[in-house]
Structure 1
Amino acid sequence: MPAQRSPGQSLTFEYRLAQEAINLRLQAEGMPVGVRRTELLRKARQIDVAGELNKWLTSPGLQPPS
């Protein structure tokens, strides 16, 4: 069963999450070490986890995480 998309939405949720994580990491790359850079990297990791959870929740059979 294909993922449902709203009209005009051509990218999957998982793809959009991955792109946002990449963008946050690129922003953090150009910053000096500090609170803001740490926040950006933390947010990117949270988005990675959200993508994995989404993949797990939408998988057939709901296998436990490994």
Structure 2
Amino acid sequence: MQRRRRTRPTTSFEQRLSDAAKALRERAKRLPPGPERENLLRQARQAETAAHINQWLSSPGLASPK
């Protein structure tokens, strides 16, 4: 049985989401107005929202009650 090769990401989840949002916005900039551009901008907003939610969830203010 083969073992799965497992690698760890070199950047944080938040950084990868931010990079993805930036790349999506750059791609959208090069497109003319239309549904494809709007889809890319929507995906960029979703990535930014996910980064904010992840930051909020990992904040120390959300520690479980003791």
TM over 0.5: yes
| Aligned residue pair count | 58
Please, which runs of 5 or more residues in structure 1 have no aligned partner? 1-5
CA RMSD of aligned residues (A): 1.7
Q: Where in structure 1 do 4 or more consecutive aligned residues deviate above 3 Å? A: none
TM (norm. structure 2) is 0.80
TM (norm. structure 1) is 0.80
Greater Rg, structure 1 or structure 2?
2
Query: Which of 1 and 2 has higher RCO (CA within 8 Å, sep 6+)?
Result: 2
Larger helix proportion, structure 1 or 2? Answer: 2
Please, which runs of 5 or more residues in structure 2 have no aligned partner? 1-5
- Alpha-carbon deviation of 1:7? 4.2
Q: Deviations over 1:17-62 (max 9, x none)?
A: 0000000000000000000000000110011100000000011122
